Amino acid sequence: MGANDFVTIFFLVAAVLIFFQLRSVLGRRTGNEKPPRDLYGSADPASGPTPPDAGKVVTLPRRDASEEEDRFAAVDAFTPAGTQLNNSLREVSKADPSFNPKEFVNGARMAYEMIVIAFADGDRKSLKGLLSREVFEGFDAAIADREGKGEKVKSTFVGIDKADIVTAEVKGTEAFVTMRIVSQMISATYDKAGALIDGDAEAVAEISDLWTFARDTRSRDPNWKLVATESEQ
């Protein structure tokens, strides 16, 4: 899966995170975990070859050691083999053979910017497609609170300084990847009278967040959604 595919993924399923508001919209990891299935078939080699037309069933061959290592080439190029992160990303790759950590990071950076801007603009439609239900409910509540008070947010997304995968894991059929994202933003919140109540309309602030994305590896839906947020401020 290429970087362009990730762009498509995150736009299909398609914030500035005001400091005190972000802390109020922490997501939770959820999901119905199911036992993993054998992705490559369960034929017993001792039973002998399968007749060509037996049941018209195609059995995928088992991967040998070299094929397994080829599958992990993208992971090993991303982080050194033998490290805890490498081992964790290999588990994600086993569950989701299309997973490429470098391309995932590129897509997550784009999703981060879209979510940040959508939250600042109160764009619930865009947020709903990018967030899990629980995280969306938190963001929606923060936007509603802001709207109820007549507050307005003016923001400029300057850019992302760092975007690194810090942890990864597979629970049942769910794959989770947590990223530390350090961004630069200009954000100011005004009350209904137009008075500045938070932020600075000119100063660039550094924001450090831990965001967790997840997807069901059994699902045909290739989309990753934001399932948890945490501010490191």
For residue range 178-227, list pLDDT tens digits in order: 999 999 999 999 999 999 999 999 999 999 999 999 999 999 888 899 99
Q: 224 with 211: CB under 8 angstroms?
A: no
In the structure, what pLDDT confidence band is assigned to residue 66 with cuts at 50, 70 and 90? low
For residue range 96-131, list pLDDT tens digits in order: 999 999 999 999 999 999 999 999 999 999 999 999
Q: What string of DSSP letters covers 190-210?
A: E-TTS-EEEE-SS--EEEEEE
What percent of the chain stands above pLDDT 90? Answer: 66
Domains of the chain: 3-37+54-231 (3.10.450.240)
Q: What pLDDT score was predicted for residue 21?
A: 41
Q: What pLDDT score was predicted for residue 37?
A: 37
Please determine, for residue 53, whether its predicted confidence score (pLDDT) is greater than 90.
no
Q: What pLDDT score was predicted for residue 227?
A: 97
Q: Could you count the other beta carbons within 10 Å of the beta carbon of residue 131?
A: 27
In the structure, what pLDDT confidence band is assigned to residue 70 with cuts at 50, 70 and 90? confident
For residue range 130-142, list pLDDT tens digits in order: 999 999 999 999 9
Residue bearing the bigger pLDDT, 145 or 37: 145
Please determine, for residue 20, whether its predicted confidence score (pLDDT) is greater than 60.
no
Distance CA 136, CA 35 (A): 27
Which whole-number Å values give the CA distances from 128 to 12, 16, 119, 135, 227, in the listed order? 11, 16, 11, 9, 12
In the structure, what pLDDT confidence band is assigned to residue 231 with cuts at 50, 70 and 90? confident
Q: What pLDDT score was predicted for residue 232?
A: 80
In the structure, what pLDDT confidence band is assigned to residue 49 with cuts at 50, 70 and 90? low
Average pLDDT over residues 66-81: 84
For residue range 21-37, list pLDDT tens digits in order: 433 343 334 344 344 33
Three-state secondary structure call for residue 94? helix
Q: What pLDDT score was predicted for residue 31?
A: 42
| Among the listed residues 36, 225, 215, the one whose alpha carbon sits nearest the alpha carbon of residue 114 | 225
Average pLDDT, the chain: 79
Which whole-number Å values give the CA distances from 78 to 75, 104, 160, 171, in the listed order? 5, 11, 19, 22
Q: For 81-173, where are the E strands, in sequence order?
A: 152-171
